[in-house]
Structure formats: structure tokens, C-alpha cells
Structure 1
Amino acid sequence: MRQTKSLPATVQRWAEQRTGPVVAVHNTSHDWHRSRVWELTGEGGACWYVKVSPSVKFFTRETRAYRSVVPVLGHSRAPCLLDSRADMLALLLTMAPGGPVPGMALTDAAWRAVHAQAGMLCARLHDVGALDARDRAEAAASLVAAADGTEKYLGRAGCRLTGDEQQLVRDYAAQLRRFGPVPLGYVHGDNQPRNWLWSEAGLALVDFERTRPAARVQDLVILAATEWLDHPDRERAFLRAYGRELTGAEQHALRCLIALDAVNCLAWGPDNDHPEVTARGRRTLDRLMREDRP
């Protein structure tokens, strides 16, 4: 159940300096205690979003993304940043067209069209431009950084994993540390249908608080563990529009990252009362154990 969250009065007054008087506020946060997003409606019916970031890191990532990365997606393909306030961790955003994909009754053909447009937009994001030296170093270290988080999540998941499952995850983490070069770029960081809006205008992406320099394949982990597992036609549509198949190194890295995502899900999901995330982790681990430990 979505928690009731009130927009802080100081944040509303700040937003109204740009929007004019607000006549209605609607909580649109995700069902997560640190998610804080509201839809604002002005006197003339215009609407905006105001978001309070959960941390300085996420605020910094998201404001940078909106200023330097997101515009490459094109008109109506993402919200635009109207203003930000660092001391409040607040962002004021325009509304992108469309509604959340998960709430739509789409045909198989429409789902393929959605994934094709997601592939196109990810290609634009990943190819936004040459990384500077600092960003390239961060991106190049991203797989090792993912592996380095393994023990923390195994500790949090505890007895939710068997000893054999824990060893499987550690084996995949060790493989990630030995990887050679893979394509790098800016990734969305939470690339999945809940952050996709669909309309007659096409697909738009939202929620860029995890956008950062990284191995590009990291943007495919949730899709590969959920959408594409049961619908390979959606994966084919995505990759055709993305413009290339994954390299052998990327395919191997993706499998390793999926294993790490599973233990993350089993650590985070139960602690945050999120059965969908928990089920994703359990399904992934069960599948990997069948395939790797027959």
C-alpha cells in the first residue's frame, strides 16, 4: 500500500516561485519509504512534478543527468528540469507525456513496440558522448564495484540463501572482478517498465537518480531477470532498436550481474515489504542453481 506523504510546505513555497500558486498536490511516490514525489497542479491546470531526493548522492546524480545527459533523448522523451534546490534536495520537473507502462493492458505487439523504443532511447543515453577521464575511470570500475557489494548484501540476506546459493553468488562476483574491457557509457541505472511512460507520442523515461557512468550492460540487468526471461521477443525488439547484439563479454557479465541482483533483491525486498522484488530474487537464484549446480 502506498504511504501517505505530505509535501513539505517549504518545498511547495519554493516550487511556487517558478510555477505560480498550486491548487492541488497529489502524492505519486513509489511504494518505498524513501521515495518522495508529488504532482502539482496550478491554477490554470498546468502540472509539474516535485521530487525530494533520498540522498545527496542521488540528488547530485539526477540534477547532473537532467542537465548534461537527458536532453540527448529528445523532445517529450523525458521530463525537463526547471529548477533544483540543493539544501532541500528538491527538483522541479515538467511532466513527460504518457502513463506508466505496468498499468496498461498492452498487446504482445505493443509490448514489442515499447521495448523497441526503450532500446532506441537506451542507445541514445549510452552514446551521449565521450566520457571524461574521471567518468571513464568510474565506469571502468563499475563491475568491480558491483562485485564489492556482494558480501554486504549476502550479510543482509542471511538465511534467505542456502550455503550453496551464497557460494554461487560469490563465484559470480569473483568472475566480475576478472573481466576485461566492456562498452562503457552513461546508464539510466533503474531501467525497467515502472520508469517508462507510454503514449501516442512514444516512450519516455523517468527517474534518473541512478544515472551514472558505468558498463552499459548494467542497464539490462532488471530487464533480463524479468521481462525478457518469459518474453524473448521483447529482448529481440530491444536489441534490434539498440543497434547491436551484446558482445560475449557483456553476455557473461550480464549473467554475473543477474546473480548479484538476486541477492540484492533477497536482502532488500523482505526488509522493505516488497514481495515483487523478493520474488524476482528467488526466481533468479532458483534458475541459476538449476543451470549451474545440476
Structure 2
Amino acid sequence: MRGVRQSKPLPAAVRRWAEAHIGPVVAVRDASHDWYRSRVWELEGDGEARWYVKVSPSVKFFIRETRAYRHVVPALGHGRAPHLVDSRAKDRAVLLTAVPGIPAQGLDPADGEWRAVHRQACALCARLHEAGALDRDDRAEAEASLAAATDGAEKHLAHAGDRLTEDERQLIRDHAARLRRVGPVPVGYIHGDNQPRNWLWSPAGLALVDFERTRPAARVQDLVVLGVTEWLDHPDRERAFLQAYGREPTGAERHALRCLTVLDAVDCLAWGPDNNHPEVTARGRRTLDRLMKESAL
């Protein structure tokens, strides 16, 4: 079992930097995800004004997130995502405004309300996917994203080691090869971690947070986590999401999604156990067990 998460202190230098922009901070709350490299704090100022400070786990994520907030996130509209107040490359820190709501994963609404959540999440994802024309470099990265996912398969297989059977390894290699042959699919800017923990739900509507994985890529990559979690047991939520998107996935996208699902499973089984993350590990194992049964039919 995972141990009790220890509260992480806000670095003094980061606090001083934040206060130079927002004034005195009267209270700090650790708002990190339950992962040892997640570092996020809620700051409260005078009059109960709130902001968030996030220290990125890597330079790559810091660059992606700051770029997303400056050039992509504004397409979501006012109140549908935090606003970047400032960034500090020295500490890989971003200072963000707060948006109302609680993570949708903590909700217990009726099915009809969940469908409404998915419709709004889809509407925001569609805006993100179409957030301006891709320049030459971004288009090249986006069009190479499926090949990049394929290239990572062998690395994940090696890392997973004896957590996989030989038949499972063959299934993964087969789908990696198929993904390489999918052909052109629609591309754009994706959220990269599109799931209810990053959807904030409030009476004002839905907002998206956490853009450290936002990048140019095949749009269908934003559906992978939903496909192996939310939608697996609730196909009505999938229908609600796709109806709000305005079009059905193309045949190539559906084929790519199945292949990406397989690669997500091996990624989870390589990463989850080493990072003491049983939820991610269970996601990968459930997906792989299901696909192995389907392939045996």
C-alpha cells in the first residue's frame, strides 16, 4: 500500500517571487497530486484571493506548460482555464490564477450530469485542438507523434520486464507495428492528460487545468486515457463526448486509438510499479487483460 503523503513545503525563494507579483501570502496549502514529483501549492492572499504555484517536474514540462499558457490556453476562453501571471525558469515555477471548481473525479453526480461534464470537457478539448494554425515545426512534431509513440514501445517493454508474458509482448509489438501504418490523422494541440482529475467542475461550468503535457500531436491521443477508464464502463459518456466534438473519429483515428491503448498499457506497467502508483499499474493490467481476451476470441 502507498504511505501517507507528506505535505511539501513551498520553497522560500518561490514564495518571495510569487509575493512580488501578488502581494503578501497569508496561507499556503499543498495541492500536489498524490505523486512524489508533483509540487503544487494554493496561495491565499488578503481578502481570500487565491492563486496557484506549480514547480514543474522537468524542464521539458516547464517549457510545454509556459508555452501552452501563452499561446494555446487562451483559446479556451475566459474562466475556462487558469491564467499565467508569471513564470520563473530558474525554479521551473509558474504562478497561476485560480479558477472555480473541484476535480470532476471527486464528483458523484447522476449519469445525466456526468454526460454534461463530458460534453463540456469535449467542447473545451475541441477548442484546444483547434487553437490556431500549426507552424512548420509544430506540424512536423504533430505528424510524427504516432511514430514517436511507436518508438517508445520497445523501451517500455524492456522496462516492464517480467511483468509481461511473451504473448502480451507479442500483442504490444503487433499493435506498435500497426500504429506505424495508420497513415494521416487530424492533428492539433492536445491537452496530453485529458481526464477528470484535470477537469474542474463548478456551477459556472467546466475548466481545464494542468497543461504540462500540452503539445502538438495527433488529436486522437487526447482520448486514450478516457478510453481505458471513464468510457470503458460508461459508453454513454463516450457518446456524449463525441457528440459534442462535432464529428465521429475517422477510421484511421479509431485504429490509432486501439493501438495507442495497447501502448498505454505497457507504459502503465513499466511506470506504475516503479513509481509506487497502483492506480496506473491497475489501469495497464486491466487494459492488457481485456485486449488479450479479445485477441483470443
Q: TM-score range by the shorter chain?
A: over 0.9
1:129 and 1:13 mapped to 2: Cα distance?
35
Give the corresponding residue for 1:255: 258
Cα drift, residue 102 of structure 1: 1.3
**5+ residue gaps in structure 2?**
none
Contact 2:101–2:200, Cα closer than 8 Å, also in 1: yes
Give the corresponding residue for 2:225: 222
Q: Give the AA of the match of 1:210.
A: R
Give the corresponding residue for 2:282: 279
Give the corresponding residue for 1:145: 148
Asked whether 1:125 is paired with 2:128, we answer: yes
User: Which of 163, 166, 175 is the aligned partner of 2:169?
Assistant: 166
CA gap 1:3/1:157 in 2 versus in 1, 3 angstroms: farther
Cα drift, residue 3 of structure 1: 3.1
Contact 2:187–2:219, Cα closer than 8 Å, also in 1: yes
Percentage of identical aligned residues: 74
Q: Give the AA of the match of 1:55.
A: S
Q: Give the AA of the match of 1:34.
A: R
Give the corresponding residue for 1:8: 11
Give the corresponding residue for 2:211: 208
Q: Give the AA of the match of 1:136.
A: R
Q: Deviations over 1:11-61 (max 9, x none)?
A: 000000011111111001011111100000112211100000111110110
1:155 and 1:33 mapped to 2: Cα distance?
24
RMSD between aligned residues: 0.8
2:206 and 2:5 mapped to 1: Cα distance?
25
Larger deviation, residues 168-177 vs 214-223? 168-177
Give the corresponding residue for 1:93: 96
Equivalent pairs counted in the alignment come to: 294
SS of the residue 2:48 aligns to = coil
1:293 and 1:42 mapped to 2: Cα distance?
59
Contact 2:182–2:255, Cα closer than 8 Å, also in 1: no
Q: Spell out the pairing of 1:6-155 with structure 2 (5 A cutoff).
A: 6-155=9-158
1:293 and 1:9 mapped to 2: Cα distance?
57
Q: Give the AA of the match of 1:191.
A: N
TM-score calculated relative to the size of structure 2: 0.98
Give the corresponding residue for 1:231: 234
Q: Deviations over 1:145-181 (max 9, x none)?
A: 0010111111111111101001100111111111211
Cα drift, residue 269 of structure 1: 1.1
User: Which of 233, 245, 249 is the aligned partner of 2:248?
Assistant: 245
Asked whether 1:191 is paired with 2:197, we answer: no
**5+ residue gaps in structure 1?**
none
TM-score calculated relative to the size of structure 1: 0.99
Contact 1:40–1:47, Cα closer than 8 Å, also in 2: yes
Cα drift, residue 293 of structure 1: 2.8
SS of the residue 2:272 aligns to = helix
